[in-house]
């Protein structure tokens, strides 16, 4: 791995070429109320694109000397970058696509820091509006957009066979003119974009969209892959997840680990709400033959915890990329018909009802993790909320800088719940460890959690 460092300066080429004095001051401010640390850490993650690292703490420690400064000139802003990963540069010049993503980070950090008052978002409506405004400011919402955005979820730590399969599915989707939105990282987030790009090229589609959605806590562990041509940084995981389901017209889920399980539980919890039962939303779990047992375990866990109604909201398709694309196309036709009938926008799924419990940020500290209520008597969509939070906490303890440090200081997260659910959860998490779905292949996984049965 190349650990050389580069010093350089860059200017924006397409957007955000000017900032106000107050915006620059906040970007230079490293105090608690300033934006410098957030901008610095997200920019470092983007510049680390292509390096295999799934540990936010390790990234920040490896590049402690990295700095990025903003200077306002008569011709607009200029970024001075010191001690950046050399992999982002060719002969001392930043790779154009990576430079664009750095300015995407700047755009979102400035907008959220100055225009979105996160502490005042107390209602479901205000939170949904905030997600909309961030996406609109990023230029990913257009009234002319037809319903063809397929969200692809899956793990960053997957086998070569699973990666190639995700690429084949992306290729079939690209041949049918679908755009791709993922969590922007490697593995199952990169494969569908790469495959779709080939499909788009064959169909002479020159404006294909490869949209990446990230958030500050995860971007260091899942740096944007080189295929991403539009990056949006959401303030937290809950707004990132809402952005996926508001933007997407269908979702394809590839094999993954706890992060993928979190995403599955999030979307199923929403679709299980009585107000959403008639809303079409194609959801497909898929992988090669080697992933058959993985999805069987996921399916069994969902059936035992959330019930048959949850199982009815998705299809499992094994080793058939063409059939996945056909099913998604058929499902999105129903989405288009429904949106036209109900006069809902194609570019943002306003009609989808999302409870406040799905939107309010969950801080995965030891106290909050131990206090999660996980009981079989809960309504399925509310049980899904807390199961999602369990997996969110494990993701934090696995790869997020703050979570890793908390586990090092205070020990394992404790997860409490009904015995039957805890046994199922323990079995599922153990299978993830055995299948190397918790960390990059070749690294030993040290659990950040402890299951406690009530």
Catalogue the E-assigned strands of 155-194: 179-182
pLDDT at 17 over 70: no
Same domain (yes/no): 236, 327? yes
Q: In CATH, what number is assigned to the domain containing residue 376?
A: 3.40.50.450
Same domain (yes/no): 77, 173? no
The pLDDT score that the predictor gives to residue 326 is: 98
CA torsion 83-87-92-98 (nearest 10°) is -100
- Give the domain range for residue 171: 120-454
Q: How confident is the model at residue 375 (pLDDT cuts 50, 70, 90)?
A: very high
Same domain (yes/no): 233, 381? yes
The pLDDT score that the predictor gives to residue 1 is: 44
Choose the weakest-confidence range: 86-95, 187-196, 414-423.
Answer: 86-95
Query: How far apart are the C-alpha atoms of 187 and 216, rounded to whole Å?
Result: 19
Measured at the alpha carbon of residue 167, what is the angle toward residues 240 and 438, in degrees to the nearest 5? 55
- Nearest one of 401, 394, 390, 405 to 55, comparing CA atoms: 401
Cβ atoms < 10 Å from Cβ of 389: 24
The pLDDT score that the predictor gives to residue 233 is: 95
The pLDDT score that the predictor gives to residue 111 is: 92
Same domain (yes/no): 193, 215? yes
pLDDT at 2 over 60: no
pLDDT tens for each residue of 26-82: 888 877 667 888 898 889 888 887 666 555 567 777 888 899 988 877 667 888 999
Greater pLDDT, 8 or 176:
176
The pLDDT score that the predictor gives to residue 64 is: 85
CA distance readout (Å), 138 to 213, 218, 273, 351: 11, 19, 30, 22
The pLDDT score that the predictor gives to residue 446 is: 78
pLDDT, mean of residues 151-169:
94
pLDDT mean across residues, the chain: 89
The pLDDT score that the predictor gives to residue 56 is: 59
pLDDT, mean of residues 253-276:
95
pLDDT, mean of residues 95-102:
91
pLDDT tens for each residue of 418-446: 999 999 998 998 888 888 787 665 567 77
Same domain (yes/no): 177, 296? yes
pLDDT, mean of residues 343-352:
94
Choose the weakest-confidence range: 305-314, 389-398, 438-447.
Answer: 438-447
Residue 344 DSSP code: -
Same domain (yes/no): 111, 125? no
Final residue in a domain of this structure, among 75, 90, 115: 115
Tell me how far the alpha carbon of residue 17 is from its chain's centroid: 27
Highest mean pLDDT among 46-60, 88-102, 207-221, 308-322: 308-322
The pLDDT score that the predictor gives to residue 144 is: 67
Final residue in a domain of this structure, among 61, 90, 115: 115
Same domain (yes/no): 236, 372? yes
Q: Are 2 and 85 in contact (CB under 8 A)?
A: yes
Same domain (yes/no): 363, 437? yes
- Joined together, the tokens standing for residue 340 give 């036209």
Query: How far apart are the C-alpha atoms of 271 and 354, rounded to whole Å?
Result: 9
pLDDT, mean of residues 403-415:
89
pLDDT, mean of residues 85-113:
90
Same domain (yes/no): 338, 269? yes
Q: In CATH, what number is assigned to the domain containing residue 97?
A: 3.30.1850.10
Query: How far apart are the C-alpha atoms of 112 and 231, rounded to whole Å?
Result: 14
Same domain (yes/no): 127, 90? no
Residue 363 DSSP code: -
pLDDT tens for each residue of 207-226: 999 999 999 888 877 788 88
With the C-alpha atoms ordered 135, 127, 241, 314, is the resulting torsion angle positive or negative?
Answer: negative
In the chain, how many domains are there?
2
Final residue in a domain of this structure, among 74, 100, 115: 115
Q: Which long-range CB contacts under 8 A does 142-146 form with residues at least 24 apart?
A: 142/347, 143/345, 143/347, 145/346, 145/347, 146/336, 146/346
Same domain (yes/no): 302, 412? yes
Same domain (yes/no): 125, 169? yes
Greater pLDDT, 130 or 2:
130
The pLDDT score that the predictor gives to residue 24 is: 81
């Amino acid at each position: 791995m190349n650990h050389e460092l580069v010093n350089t300066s860059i200017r924006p080429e397409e957007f955000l070429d000017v900032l106000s004095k107050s915006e620059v001051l906040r970007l230079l401010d490293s105090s608690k109320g300033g934006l410098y640390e957030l901008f610095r850490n997200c920019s470092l993650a983007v510049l680390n694109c292509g390096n295999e690292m799934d540990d936010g703490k390790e990234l920040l420690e490896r590049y402690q000397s990295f700095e990025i400064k903003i200077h306002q000139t008569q011709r607009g802003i200029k970024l001075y970058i010191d001690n950046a990963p050399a992999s982002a540069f060719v002969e001392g010049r930043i790779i154009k696509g990576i430079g664009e993503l750095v300015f995407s980070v700047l755009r979102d950090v400035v907008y959220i820091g100055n225009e979105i008052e996160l502490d005042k978002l107390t209602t479901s409506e205000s939170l949904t509006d905030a997600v909309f405004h961030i996406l609109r400011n990023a230029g990913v919402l257009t009234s002319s957009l037809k319903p063809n955005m397929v969200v692809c979820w899956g793990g960053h730590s997957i086998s070569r066979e699973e990666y190639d399969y995700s690429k084949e599915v992306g290729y079939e989707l690209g041949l049918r003119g679908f755009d791709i939105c993922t969590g922007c990282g490697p593995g199952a987030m990169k494969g569908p974009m790469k495959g779709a790009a080939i499909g788009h090229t064959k169909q002479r589609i020159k404006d294909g969209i490869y949209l990446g959605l990230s958030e500050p806590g995860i971007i260091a562990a899942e740096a944007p892959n080189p295929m991403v041509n539009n990056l949006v940084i959401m303030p937290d995981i809950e707004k990132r997840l809402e952005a996926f389901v508001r933007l997407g017209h269908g979702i394809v889920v590839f094999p993954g680990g706890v992060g993928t399980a979190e995403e599955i539980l999030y979307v199923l919890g929403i679709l299980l709400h009585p107000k959403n039962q008639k809303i079409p939303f194609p959801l497909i779990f898929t992988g090669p033959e080697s992933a058959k047992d993985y999805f069987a375990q996921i399916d069994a866990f969902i059936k035992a915890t959330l019930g048959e109604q949850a199982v009815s909201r998705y299809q499992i398709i094994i080793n058939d990329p063409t059939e996945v694309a056909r099913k998604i196309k058929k499902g999105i036709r129903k989405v288009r018909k429904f949106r036209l009938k109900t006069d809902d926008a194609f570019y943002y799924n306003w009609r989808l009802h999302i409870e406040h419990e799905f939107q309010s940020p969950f801080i995965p500290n030891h106290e909050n993790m131990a206090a999660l209520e996980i009981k079989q008597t809960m309504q399925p969509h509310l049980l899904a909320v807390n199961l999602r939070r369990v997996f969110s906490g494990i993701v934090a303890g696995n790869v997020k800088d703050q979570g890793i440090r908390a586990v090092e200081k205070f020990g394992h997260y404790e997860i409490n719940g009904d015995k039957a659910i805890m046994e199922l959860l323990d079995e599922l998490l153990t299978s993830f460890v055995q299948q190397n779905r918790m960390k990059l292949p070749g690294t030993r996984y040290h659990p950040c959690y402890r299951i406690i049965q009530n």
